[in-house]
């Protein structure tokens, strides 16, 4: 059995060259899109799409982050100001904190004074409900117009969530949110780090079209925020109506984007959740 959905599947794509540099100026014919291995026809194409951005910033305020929280707050505040200085006037950011519980400190806004006030209220204490934070922020961002991104500033893995890795990943994918983990790692020795937590975040990032960062000081944290914003400002928008895709009971539909040029690499989400077919 085959299906032909009327749903428009939208993909935000970052293109990088062999040196890791961002590539702009490509045309629709430079891209190839497939779903479940079946080639798809690109119906919508935009370079440097200006669709509004909703960015949820999730800051880990567990007890282990106390010593780094000061410069994380200042760097995050600089990022908020950079987002609102340019881009689409409907771009907005929201702030969440998470330790053993998840708190939305500011809803989606362009009011940098309000966001700064919320940032400076953060204090470090307790455990780390990382997966709960990703899950809840995904639910909040899912129905917002335009593009969705989440930035998670943390120092490691989950310790107190009620949700698990799979629930957090599915929520992020359903929200069509690109996830960028910023893992603040002052300890270079792997023995002092939560490697399992880092790998989990790397996996969620890869499957949503993001990538992880591992800054060790305030300057490299600033650079991570700058790199994320540059990627979001230079995304291509590709969209298609699924055609000729075999039906099945799997709710997740894998998608692949490739470039005709061998020296270029497309970074986007690994698929989307939709209706299963009998």
Cα distance between residue 265 and residue 129, in whole Å: 34
Residue with tokens 């002092």: 192
Distances from the Cα of 124 to the Cα of 120, 127, 251, angstroms: 12, 10, 39
DSSP code of residue 171: H
Q: Does residue 125 sit in helix, strand or coil?
A: coil
Domains of the chain plus CATH, in order, are: 2-6+27-47+236-273 (no CATH), 53-233 (3.40.50.410)
Cα distance between residue 49 and residue 41, in whole Å: 19
- The region of weakest confidence among 3-12, 44-53, 58-67, 94-103 is 3-12
Cα distance between residue 192 and residue 30, in whole Å: 44
Residue with tokens 């079946």: 38
Residue with tokens 């590539």: 23
Is residue 27 pLDDT above 80, yes or no?
yes
In the chain, what percentage of residues exceed pLDDT 90?
A: 82
- The region of weakest confidence among 6-10, 150-154, 175-179, 260-264 is 6-10
Chain segment 106-124, per-residue pLDDT in tens: 999 999 999 999 999 999 8
Chain segment 145-201, per-residue pLDDT in tens: 999 999 999 988 899 999 999 999 999 999 999 999 999 875 555 555 668 889 999
What residues form DSSP beta bridges with 59?
Answer: 97, 153
Cα distance between residue 225 and residue 6, in whole Å: 37
Single pTM value for the model: 0.93
């Amino acid at each position: 059995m085959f299906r032909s959905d009327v749903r428009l599947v939208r993909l935000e794509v970052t293109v990088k060259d062999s040196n890791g540099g961002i590539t702009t100026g490509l045309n629709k014919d430079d891209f190839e899109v497939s779903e479940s291995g079946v080639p798809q026809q690109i119906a919508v194409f935009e370079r440097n799409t200006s669709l509004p951005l909703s960015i949820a910033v999730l800051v880990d305020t567990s007890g282990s982050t106390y010593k780094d929280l000061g410069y994380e707050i200042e760097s995050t505040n600089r990022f908020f100001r950079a987002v609102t200085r340019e881009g689409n006037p409907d771009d907005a950011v929201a702030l969440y904190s998470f330790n053993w519980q998840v708190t939305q400190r500011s809803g989606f806004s362009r009011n940098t004074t309000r966001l700064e006030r919320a940032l400076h209220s953060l204090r470090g204490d307790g455990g780390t409900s990382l997966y709960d934070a990703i899950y809840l922020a995904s639910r909040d961002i899912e129905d917002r117009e335009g593009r969705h991104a989440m930035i998670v500033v943390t120092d490691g893995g989950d310790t107190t969530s009620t949700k698990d890795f799979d629930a957090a990943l599915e929520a992020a994918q359903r929200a069509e949110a690109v996830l960028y983990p910023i893992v603040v790692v002052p300890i270079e020795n792997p023995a002092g780090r939560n490697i399992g937590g880092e790998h989990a975040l790397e996996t969620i990032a890869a499957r949503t079209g993001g990538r992880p960062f591992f800054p060790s000081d305030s300057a490299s944290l600033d650079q991570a925020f700058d790199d994320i914003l540059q990627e979001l400002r230079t995304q291509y928008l590709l969209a298609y109506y699924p055609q000729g895709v075999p039906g099945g009971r799997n709710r997740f539909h894998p998608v692949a984007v490739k470039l005709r040029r061998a020296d270029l690499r497309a970074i986007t989400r690994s698929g989307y959740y939709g209706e299963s077919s009998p």
